[in-house]
Amino acid sequence: MTPLFQYAILAGLIAGTVGLVLTLRLIARSLGRVKAEKAKDVPFAGGANSPDPAWVRYHFHYYGFALLFLAFDMEMAFMYPWAVVYQELGLTALLDMGVFLLILFLGLLYAWSQGALKRQ
29 in a structural domain: yes
8 in a structural domain: yes
Name the β-bridge partners of 45: 48
49 in a structural domain: no
Tell me the DSSP string of 3-70. HHHHHHHHHHHHHHHHHHHHHHHHHHHHH------GGGGS-EETTEE-SS-SSPPPPTHHHHHHHHHH
Domain count, the chain: 2
Q: What is the pTM of this model?
A: 0.46
pLDDT tens, residue order, the chain (120 aa): 899 999 999 999 999 999 999 999 999 988 887 777 776 666 666 666 666 666 777 777 777 778 888 888 888 888 888 888 888 888 888 898 899 889 988 988 888 888 877 776
- Give every CB contact of residue 78 below 8 A, 6+ residues apart in sequence: 100
- Distance from C-alpha of 85 to C-alpha of 77, rounded to nearest angstrom: 14
15 in a structural domain: yes
Same domain, 29 and 63: no
